[in-house]
Amino acid sequence: MAFSDAERRAMARALELAARGPRSRNPQVGAVILSPHGDVLAEGWHRGAGTAHAEVDALSHLPEGGARGATAVVTLEPCNHTGRTGPCAEALIAAGVARVVYAVTDPGVISGGGARRLRDAGVDAEGGLMAEEGDALVGPWITATRLGRPHVTVKWAQSLDGRAAAADGTSQWITGGEARADVHRRRAEADAIVIGTGTLLADDPQLTARLDGALAPAQPVPVVIGTRPVPPHAAVRSHPAVAETGEPLAYATRDLAAVLADLRERGLHRVFVEGGPTLASAFLRAGLADRVLAYVAPVLLGGPRTALDDIGVETIGAARRLVVESMVPLGADVLFEARLHEGDS
């Protein structure tokens, strides 16, 4: 695949534009229109359900015929269906665009296929430019589209010998400040942060995301799973995302699939599970985890309080194999970032 320098610059800009859009049921998408000489003619991004898609938003800034012979650089393959708005592939064809470059293929059964439609109309369509960066932006939405549930990251902190707490239950702090700061950064990237009622009652967390000591501009919605009620004065009731009602999303159930289905319906595609060994193990046991973040501290605790309990592995042949994507030193600690093998989640 051959991409010009102008197209690479335009894709980097399109990714910046995409991040301006809201996290919702729809993906965050950005678009840049380039002249045949590589100059930027127009920019656009998707501002939420029911509004113009990024490509159409960019085209709207051009006069009639202004995109003829141009190249459209888009973070996601142009859609091929009519919903609240028309198909972007058709809009690009009608505008006379000669070439379309995109980062990530749309996996939707209904919305996908835009590149094929473009090619059938004689438009050069090529994907894969900055695919890794594009996937980081829309990967959770793709998971929701493909699996019918949000993208789930399960996080825990543990000692070197695999314990989440000392024998008396104390666990603050196994890891150091750099690891905790990394957790807050990842909370800020999530749409929802999930704990169980056991963790809620034991630790009374607020579940906010803080960056450099201040509340992050974007806050994950706090979610509590379990049959015990949220206490009237629980810290989570003062979370900024539920400040108006004082009510976190609470699910008095052990049906994790049903919880995820409801979260997806609410447009929450990035779910961060931070609820202790019982809840982490339940998500893994149910095959509802996509990524694992294990923060490992160079301390030994011994005792019974392991970081995970039963995840449904009865023999070594049934072990849940992970693909470790990175091992990141964080002060004295190490973060193992891994994904589940396809078919294990």
Active site residues: 55
Burial 245-255 (b: 16+ CB within 10 A, else e): eeebbbbeeee
Q: Report the distance separating Cα 197 and Cα 278, nearest Å.
A: 10
Contact 141, 269 (CB under 8 A): yes
Within 10 angstroms of residue 306's Cβ, the number of other Cβ atoms is 16
Q: Report the distance separating Cα 105 and Cα 112, nearest Å.
A: 8
Selection from 328, 334, 345, 246 nearest residue 290 by Cα: 345
Q: Which is it for strands 214-215 and 210-211: parallel, antiparallel or unpaired?
A: antiparallel
Torsion of CA 15, 101, 323, 159, to 10 degrees: -10
Q: Report the distance separating Cα 227 and Cα 235, nearest Å.
A: 18
Amino acid at residue number 221: V
Sign of the CA dihedral 224, 230, 233, 237? positive
Query: 13: helix, coil or strand?
Result: helix
Q: Which residues contact 146 (CB under 8 A, 6 or more apart)?
A: 107
Q: Report the distance separating Cα 151 and Cα 136, nearest Å.
A: 12
Contact 124, 149 (CB under 8 A): no
Query: 330: helix, coil or strand?
Result: strand
Crossing angle of helices 131-147 and 5-18, in 10° steps, is 50
